[in-house]
Structure 1
Amino acid sequence: MKIALPTLCAVLVASGCTSTPTVGYGPNLEPIPGSITYGGQPRTKLTKAPVGSIVPHRFFDDFGRRVSETYVIDEDRSLRLISRRIDYDLPSDR
């Protein structure tokens, strides 16, 4: 019993670690449905936020995966997508 309990705990912990995030970075990162800039820039300009500010955005894609994106405000007040993380196998908290 002394060996069975730690083994069982280890199996349960390892089985809970099935989430495999996909992370994307770089200038060629394209928006996907649900992204702020999907279909073009937003109509309103971000006039109060300083240039270089980071804008986080979280949403669920068409497949129910949690997506976390990061944007930066450029000098022309447009948003530039700089990173994306997609979490697989996470329970939806919608």
Structure 2
Amino acid sequence: MKLGSIACAAALLLAACTTTAPELEPIPGSITYGGQPRTKLTKAPVGSIVPHQFFTQGGLARETYVIQPDRSLKLIRRHIDYDFITRHSRR
């Protein structure tokens, strides 16, 4: 009985947790900057990952998108390597 009440309390605590991170906003150079692209990705399955990289102010931005059920792109990850240009200009 005690174990059941502990499990129930743990389940309630976990249900109260929210792990939603704030949405990433597109920056100049992002695929979705200025809105969704006009062309839809009709052949790629829903949930497919779309990588994208571009140069931004002082670094190389690497973004990851996922294709949504309505065929729009959702930006889920971005990493900007600010040392990319300095590391590769020494060669």
Paired amino acid for 2:50: V
Gaps of 5+ in 2: 1-20
SS in 1 for 2:63: strand
**Greater relative CO (CA pairs within 8 A, separation 6+):** 1
Aligned length: 68
Structure with higher Rg: it is 2
The 1-side partners of 2:40 and 2:48 are apart by 13
Q: Which runs of 4+ in 1 moved over 6 A?
A: none
Matches within 5 A, 1:26-37: 26-37=21-32
Give 1 or 2: higher helix fraction: 2
2:75 pairs with 1:81: yes
Identity percentage of aligned residues = 73
The TM-score normalised by the length of structure 2 is: 0.69
Paired amino acid for 2:42: T
Gaps of 5+ in 1: 1-25
